[in-house]
Amino acid sequence: MINIFLVDDHDLVRTGIKKILEECTGINVVGEASSGEAAVAWCRQHQCDIIFMDMNMPGIDGIEATKRILRYNPGARIIMLTVHTDDPIPSQVMKAGAWGFLTKGASAEEMLKAIHEVFSGHRYLESNIAQMMALVRFPGNGKKEVGDDGNPFGILAERELQISTMISQGMKVSEIADRLAISPKTVNSYRYRVFKKLGINGDVELTRLALRYGLDGLK
């Protein structure tokens, strides 16, 4: 059973998330708070597996609440929820110690994926945010020479970088094709082009390289 604590200053948002989670087998909502202060107080007295934390709240915001909770419980696993996706916000959230980052527009499927990934000990960024961070890291058409910062992904074009990020997130070819509205054949063409440019032989090597150089922003 995965025990989850919800923090959001909007009752309607908490109710909606709670309804989704309670319909899922193996997930239990053990408590709620409507402010960062209340969340910190609750976490000093109770334990849970995952905390869903709203980033923007009156008083103590989600980032500050996360920092305070981690002082008392360094093992707390927090997934931040926000309507903002602009960099450097995702970076600030992860640096504060959060394990995951989701927008409030994320699908129920992605929210559940984030829960299971974080519960399993993996950090999680919503896929479109991970892609955005990668593109911010490599602006323009991606034609940055390897050696500028030692990162081999700098030689990839924007679409190649986008698909590399999605593969490193564990997405299947069919899922990537659906997300980008292109054919699976086209996705595979990009994959093989990426493999050739990076000198690798498959998705496993690509994922390892992504983790090593921080392409996906997860580890």
Predicted local confidence at residue 147, as pLDDT: 38
- The whole-model pTM stands at 0.63
More confident site: 92 or 207 = 207
Q: Is pLDDT above 60 for 141?
A: no
Domain 2-121 and domain 130-213 have a common topology: yes
Top mean-pLDDT range of 69-78, 93-102, 168-177 = 69-78
Q: How sure is the predictor about 131, in pLDDT bands with cuts at 50, 70 and 90?
A: low
What are the sequence ranges of the domains in the chain?
2-121, 130-213
The answer to whether 88 touches 117, Cβ cutoff 8 Å, is no
Tell me how long the chain is. 219
Q: State the number of CA atoms in the 13 A half-sphere of 135 facing the CB.
A: 16
Q: How sure is the predictor about 143, in pLDDT bands with cuts at 50, 70 and 90?
A: very low
Amino acid (1-letter code) at residue 108: A
- What homologous superfamily does CATH list for 2-121? Response regulator (3.40.50.2300)
Please state which CATH number belongs to domain 130-213. 3.40.50.2300
Predicted local confidence at residue 136, as pLDDT: 53
Which of 58-67, 126-135, 144-153, 193-202 has the lowest average pLDDT? 144-153
Predicted local confidence at residue 168, as pLDDT: 83
Q: How sure is the predictor about 134, in pLDDT bands with cuts at 50, 70 and 90?
A: low
Q: Is pLDDT above 90 for 146?
A: no
Farthest-apart Cα atoms in the chain, separation: 53
Q: Which residues pair with 100 in a beta bridge?
A: 79, 124
Predicted local confidence at residue 150, as pLDDT: 61
Averaged pLDDT for residues 153-158: 78
Spatial neighbors of 45 by CB under 8 A, at least 6 apart, are none
